[in-house]
Structure 1
């Protein structure tokens, strides 16, 4: 079954990756969607940090000698409580488009074995929003325990006109997406538990690294990164 996937990666290499199963029938809601979807629609949601090494090209021939390589550390993951990693090589298309082929290997949670994979990605250029002089991004993070002693881990990332988050509270998982639509942020995906620590048009406008904000569910989030660019 195919999935609707969105990955947001900050300048500091923090990322959120959510993969939502496509509808099985015409009666199942498609994305974007304002209603809460069942957890069965979540193929995978995870967040963490990435480390990359640049590609090496032959300066004489212009050919690719070694592709860029990235390792992703899953700090929070909908499939496991453990910290896991996956890694892959990135091969841009030779036609100069924004499509990239990723080839790599990682542990398949269903089998527990390291297996090869390949995925196609399309890079999207973030836009500058109305009222903002530059393109903006920021990262919110939470790590604590709730009143029941369950581990709470979550990350929310904004890149331009997109915001996406993953939260895990014990065995409970929540994912959310928002997109800027004209003059306001609109929710485009919600599964499970993740209460935003901001409201409507004011989402993430008061950003300062180290500043803490409270979610509607009492979870405290902290800004750990902020970046702006032309």
Structure 2
């Protein structure tokens, strides 16, 4: 269910009221508003969330995003001084890691208005600035962008196919494309280099194991 148009401040208040700030397991340098068994959002039903958002992807640090964020903080030269886009940002975790790693400019993109609220709330938690842009940039040439980051986008077939074709086109024009992948069904089988691997603490409420292996892929043109 897509959220109806509501004032951003109201969405931010919703995020803050139904989550709790906690360090990201693999990236404890950053704190996010997260759903947990102690928060109202964890126990909410679709009926409770009617008119809001019944698929709160923004409320969890997904394994692929954690791996990519960890890589950026371990290897800040990947983004330092560069203009960066964080595609399908969700909670803003990867974009915030890029800011913390010293990127010259970072812009977070997502189609979900709750993501804008989550990004604003999470940026404030960490004392960082992360501009947000609403919309679907797939296919856009992104002039001036030097690095594209994608935390965990290979979970759904049509999205993965569209995104991967775009990633390859950008890489062919010289953009560094880094994607986090926790073994999702629609991850690419070729045309990439694995630049990092991690064992990521997660939760069986959203994953199939308490620890999940995740890779950082650099997509080739």
TM-score where L is the length of structure 1: 0.28
Higher strand share: 1
Q: Which protein shows a greater Rg?
A: 1
